[in-house]
Structure 1
């Protein structure tokens, strides 16, 4: 029974690993603010495609791994991932019928909410907030969403992972 889900599990883990690598890849200081939230985009995609397989415990473990990897306050990424995946689970039936540009707008809102939560947690740890520049990754993520969704749809079809209803 679990062997049937093995290709999906391997693909999910590999895509998350690549997303973590893209999130920690060093960029120049002036370009870091435009980095899309790759891990969040991958989590959103898999929650939309396989909503019944979404495990909050796995998201918490992934979030703690991200906190340790990136060096953010402990608990920031688990909170962001759980809240975002909850919003995705509440809306995945409607969003599946959106066009790519409508999905991108929804992704913009989801990632902006995630960014607000992340910066709220960082402000609790003493970091100063400066303007609304912290929302630029949500715009970059919304611009990357159609490419990521099309690429992952092709990967999913290649490995014969069906969409769950």
Structure 2
């Protein structure tokens, strides 16, 4: 828990932030292969929630808007809907990021389940995907899968962030 409160400026790890978003966009393109991958979370949203929850010197609302527009173009959905969802979730993270930083990784993963469930609800209300009975289970399992990916991403990004901050 002590590692969470080391102050690191987002400028110290700017390239890591950019590369993590590019990598997340590449992972998001896996969902384009077919509808069988509905259980995969939006990796860009996970990375966005990580960076907005761990750095206090930047709000990431503009980044949420840009990443949301990229998600709209990637999924060929109505321009601005993913951007709106990403901004709402980023704002929610900003409202309690000080508490979130103090949580252990399993507690953060439980919070991510709530964030991703809200994402699924907003996604269902705004984009109304056509789901068969077999696809509904994987659609609603996504928040739980996102929690497992959060554990991996957060551990990896914590390690990389601390290494890059020490080097500078």
TM-score if structure 2 supplies the norm length? Answer: 0.82
Partner residue, 1:84: 89
Tell me how large the CA RMSD over aligned residues is.
2.1
Contact 2:85/2:119 (<8 A) preserved: yes
Q: CA deviation at 1:27?
A: 4.7
Q: Indicate yes or no: 2:13 matched with 1:13.
A: no
| 111 and 51 in structure 1: CA distance in 2 versus 1, 3 angstrom threshold | farther
In 1, Cα distance between equivalents of 2:118 and 2:56: 20
- Residue 16 of structure 1: how far off its partner (Å): 0.4
Specify the alignment match of 1:116 in structure 2: 121
Which of 136, 156, 161 is equivalent to 1:156? 161
Please identify which structure carries the higher helix content: 2
1:96, distance to aligned residue in structure 2 (A):
1.6
SS for the counterpart of 1:52 is: coil
1:1-165 alignment to 2 at 5 Å? 6-25=11-30, 27=33, 29-30=35-36, 32-123=37-128, 127-128=129-130, 133=137, 134-160=139-165
Deviates further, 53-62 or 88-97 = 53-62
Point out where structure 1 has 5 or more consecutive residues left out of the alignment. none
Number of residue pairs matched?
154
TM-score by length of 1: 0.83
Deviations 1:113-152 (A, max 9, x none): 01111121112xxx44667532221111011111111100
Change (3 A) 1:130 1:83: farther
Change in CA separation of 1:81 and 1:23 when aligned onto 2, cut-off 3 Å: same
SS at match of 1:104: helix
The answer to whether the 8 Å contact 1:37/1:137 transfers is no
- Cα gap change, 1:74 to 1:141, in 2 (>3 Å): same
